[in-house]
Structures are given as structure tokens and as C-alpha cells.
Chain A
Amino acid sequence: MLNSPNISPFVIFFASIITSNMILSNFLGMCSFISVSNEYKTASGLGKSVTMVMVVTTIINYVIYKYVVVPLSLEYLRYIIFIIVIAASVQIIELVMDRYLPDLHIKLGIFLPLITVNCAILGISLFMVIRNYDFWQTLLFGFGSGLGWWLAIATLAAIKEKVAKNNIPKGLEGPGLTFIITGLMALAFIGFSGIFVIQ
């Protein structure tokens, strides 16, 4: 296991937005990234929901991992436990939003069931274990990764909206072009790696 006690939580925060972006350097959460990126507005809504869910689920998973999983030495079950926790907390978040934040629920709520199966969210919880993060590192890692995911999908959607107005060669329409754009975006983001890398 990697030991990362010395990295400042803020470095992790910025790194997970830019250089270690969940989509552009880890290629996690690709399914909704590809399919829900046709409109900037919707993509941005999904990005916000993912950020919120990432923060909440990483905190809950951190607590459960540290105080339940490790003491009972159930580390090998972390995949299952993390998934159950994510699914349940998304459901509860949806109920809470519907009750107290109805406007937000209308804007973001429809994405919540989609997010349950977003692998980037499970990825965060697993990375947190592999990299041995403490609480603050985990919190800012979750938040930063969420923002990074949001940034990536919103940028892709905005580019796709612009590109859609041009003549696209037949064979590249749809996912073909999306992958090319994603690849170019990933290259561009690598450019930041001189600043800091956390993995």
C-alpha cells in the first residue's frame, strides 16, 4: 500500500481536479460521461449531482471503513460494502432533497439513480483505501474529484455543442467524435502534470 501521509490535502484537492482527473486520467465514470454529455445544461446538472454524492459517500465510506471494516478485518469485502453504502446513501439523499430542497431535487434528483452506478464514485472510495488517506485528505479528494468530473463533463458537453454545428464526417458522428475530444482533453490536462501529481 502506498503511504501518503505527507501530501497536503489541498494538493490532493487541486490534483484531483486537474492532473489526476477521474475521467481524463483514470477513465472512470465513462458511461454517463459519454451518454449524458450532449447538452451543457444537463451535463452540468449531472456534474453537480456527482460532486455532491462523491463528497457524501466518501465521508460515509471513510467512517465505515475505518471504524467497521478494518477492526473486523473485512478489507477484502470493501467492494461490496462500499457499493451497498453508496446505493443506500444515494437513496437517502434523494429523499432528503425531495423533502427539503425540492427545487434542487427537480434539477438534480433525476440523475441520482444514474449516479448510483457511476464507477468514479466507487473509485474514489477504493483509491482512498489504496492511498491510505486520512480524513481531511479523503474529504478534499472526494470534493476535488467531484469538481474534476464536473469540469470534464461540462467542458465535453460545451465542446460537443459547438462541434455539432459543423459538418462532421459520417463515421465520426456520436461516440467516435466524443472519444477523440476526450482524448484531446486528456492530453491537454496532462500538460498540468508538471505542477503536481498524486498517483
Chain B
Amino acid sequence: MEVLITVLSVTAIATLLATLIVIADKFLNNYGKCTIDINEGNKKLEVEGGQSLLSSLAANKIFIPSACGGKATCGLCKVKVIEGAGPLLPTEEPYLSDQERNDGVRLSCQVKIKKNINIQIPEEYFNIKQFSASVVSITDMTHDIKEFRFKMDDPDTIDFKAGQYMQIETKPYAKIKEKAIRAYSISSLPSDNGFIDLIVRKVPGGICTTYMHDYLKVGDQVSMTGPQGEFYRRDDSDSYVFMAGGSGLAPIKSIIMDIIEKGLDREMFFFFGAVTKSDLYYVDIFKELEKKYPKFKYIPALSKPLPEDHWEGETGLVTDVMLKYVKSGEGKHAYLCGSPGMIGACIKALTGVNFQVEKIYYDKF
């Protein structure tokens, strides 16, 4: 009897409090209908107030890049708010520079919609969609790099610029209980719009790369959002220098093949940095392109070729090799994709031969 009273009363108290919270949430967190005005009337959304700007936009199929899922830890979901966001919150402060604060930039996951709000987002964001795609093939490229080919199921076509990336959402697996979101560059051609290829290098202990390498099977469905990213080709030059390391080859391959497919008359150098011959991949594709297009040069450079590699190509650091071929950056564009260390060294080398800093585009990972 005593046990029963105890259980019942504790349950009753807990239920009462939970009900109170639910009621309070319903009445206090109810801000009625609010309008989100995007890019000065370009698009107007009617939403229920009380939610974050990020989730309200996502509910209306506008996806702001975000990796942490609204916890204010990644700082990616920046959006310029013209009015209606309330003051800056302490949770946002670490992610915003003085310039951004003056411009009214906010983290959309922290801004709660309580009244009509006026925001500005880049046009590309309208193009970001959520896709469901299934794995068509998985191919080993090197000992730790695989190529994944996805067929777009819903929507069944994708419109992207060569060089952009997709964000993949992993499902919980093994000991990983939470979903994770990671970005990978598309390596296939924009014209092949029913499919995308992603190149993923396995990072020891990496949540998403382990998932993709060890758990993803042909036929599996994956949810992804995109296309995103500012790393795509600008057309105001006819001479390009490309440089990549490891899985950084993905966006570069897409850009080069896009130029060739479009029949553009461009001079292109592609430097690929690796340690041994076994780290090289897609060699045949690029060799073939080199034969067909005299203006395209593919220069792989190995930093430590093994004796059994019988390597006759360039050796040494890819930045040093590049300087042998590229003497002046006058009027040229450079596109770099690789580790922060490689990119830092490349920028230094390129500015040394008169590349304009603003004409060096890069994607660090």
C-alpha cells in the first residue's frame, strides 16, 4: 500500500509539472504567425513563431549550411538579418567578427522567431535541396580512398556547379548513437545530373568516413543536402592552375572535366601531390585527357616514391614541382584543394610568382 502511494504521488507530481510545462510552452511559446521576408521581398514565408530561424527555414525547404544541427557549436549557419532578430546572444558572440556584427550577421540556429523578420541570404541557398540518393557503386581508389556513386532518387536530378559539395547525413551505426553531417565534394560532371560521385578518404576514427567506408553498401539510401560551397570556377581567365592532394582531387576533377566537356579553350595545369605511387588514382583518366587536349597538363608529384614504384615522373613537394612549370601568375587563376598545410604552402608559393591573392580559390579540409 505504502509503495503504491509513493509511486502514485511521485507520478502525480511529475505529471502535474510536465503538464504545466506543456501548457506554458503552448501559451508562452506561441508567437502566432510571423513572416520571414527573404532578400527584400524576393520570397516571403509564413511561419509559426517560437522556432529558430534555421529550423523554420528548413521546414520551408531553404537549407542554410549547418553542421552541428543547431547547437551553436559549428558557426556555419550565418545569416544576415536586416531587422527583427532581437539583440545578439552570448552564445553567438564567439563566432562573429566585428565586421559581421556591424553587418547584422547572426547564427540562424540561435535566432528565435518572435515577430516578422527580414533577412538576406545568398541566392545559391535557394538552390540547396534535400535529396534522397542510393548507392550505385563503391570503388576502391587507393588503400584509404573510395569513390561512391550515388543515384539521385528524390528529387531525381541535381543542378550544381563543378567544384561544389554535398552534405551527407549518416545514420547511427555500431557505437555511434547520433546522426552526423559531413561535407564531401562532388567529383562527377554537372551534366551527369542524375548521379553524383563523391570521393572519401577514410580518416582513422572519423565518424562519417568510417560509416561510408565500412557500413555503407550498394543499394543503401542516404539523405544529403546541397549543392553548397563557393569553390567553383570563375570564368574571367583562360589559364588555370589546379592543385590537389588526397581526396582533394574530387572538385578539381569535376572542374577540369567540365571545362573540357564545354569545349572551352583554356590552358590548364593540374598538379597532384602524393607520397608514393599507390596514392595516385584516376591516373588513366587524366593521361587520356592529356593526350586529347594539348592545353591540359597533368603533373603528379611523389614526395617519397618507393624503389618498387619505378617512378619516372616528378618527385619532391608538389609546391616545388609547380614552380618548375608555372613561372608567372599574370592573369591566371589557381584552384587548390587539400589539407590546410598544403594549401598554406601553395598560397605562399603562388603569391611568390605574382598570383593575385584574390584569384587563388581554395577548399581546405
Residue positions of A touching B, CB distance < 8 A: 64, 68, 72, 74, 77, 80-81, 84-85, 88, 91-92, 95-96, 98-99, 102-103, 106, 110
Contact = CB atoms under 8 A, between A and B. Distances in A.
SS class of chain B's interface: helix, strand, loop or mixed? Answer: helix
B29 A99 contact: yes
A92 to B, nearest CB: 5
Given A88-B21, A102-B114, 20 more contacts: A68-B9, A68-B13, A74-B5, A74-B10, A77-B6, A77-B9, A84-B13, A85-B13, A88-B17, A88-B18, A91-B21, A92-B21, A95-B24, A95-B25, A96-B24, A96-B28, A98-B112, A99-B29, A106-B86, A106-B90
A95 B10 contact: no
Nearest to B88: A106
Given A84-B14, A91-B21, A106-B89, A74 B28 contact: no
**B14, B20, B24, B89 — most chain A CB neighbours (10 Å):** B24
Nearest to B30: A99
Nearest to A76: B6
Contact of B89 (A64, A84, A95, A110): A110
B87 A106 contact: yes
A91 B91 CA distance: 19
A77 B6 CA distance: 8
Contacts of A88: 17-18, 20-21
Contacts of B9: 68, 72, 74, 77
B1 to A, nearest CB: 12
A99 B28 contact: yes
9 contacts: A68-B13, A77-B10, A84-B14, A85-B13, A88-B18, A92-B24, A99-B29, A102-B86, A110-B90
B6 A74 contact: yes
Contacts of B90: 106, 110
Contacts of A92: 20-21, 24
Contact of A85 (B17, B87, B114): B17
B30 to A, nearest CB: 9
Interface string B76-96: 000000000011011100000
Interface of B: 5-6, 9-10, 13-14, 17-18, 20-21, 24-25, 28-29, 86-87, 89-91, 112, 114
Contacts of B112: 98
Contacts of B29: 95, 98-99
B79 to A, nearest CB: 19
A39 B33 CA distance: 39
Contacts of B25: 95
A106 B92 CA distance: 12
**A64, A81, A88, A110 — most chain B CB neighbours (10 Å):** A88
Contacts of B13: 64, 68, 81, 84-85
A180 to B, nearest CB: 29
A84 B17 contact: yes
Contacts of A81: 10, 13
A103 B114 CA distance: 13
A80 B29 CA distance: 28
Nearest to B18: A88
Contacts of A95: 21, 24-25, 28-29
B17 to A, nearest CB: 4
Nearest to A87: B17
Closest 5 pairs (CB-CB, A-B)? A88-B17, A95-B28, A99-B28, A92-B24, A95-B24
B15 to A, nearest CB: 11
A106 B87 CA distance: 8
A103 B87 CA distance: 8
Contacts of A102: 86, 114
A110 B90 CA distance: 8
A185 B87 CA distance: 36
Nearest to B12: A68
A121 B112 CA distance: 29
A68 B112 CA distance: 38
A110 B87 contact: no
A64 B14 CA distance: 12
B19 to A, nearest CB: 10
B189 to A, nearest CB: 48
Contacts of A72: 5, 9
A169 B28 CA distance: 51
A167 to B, nearest CB: 28
A81 B6 CA distance: 11
Contacts of B18: 88
A157 to B, nearest CB: 16
Contacts of A99: 28-29
A68 B12 CA distance: 11
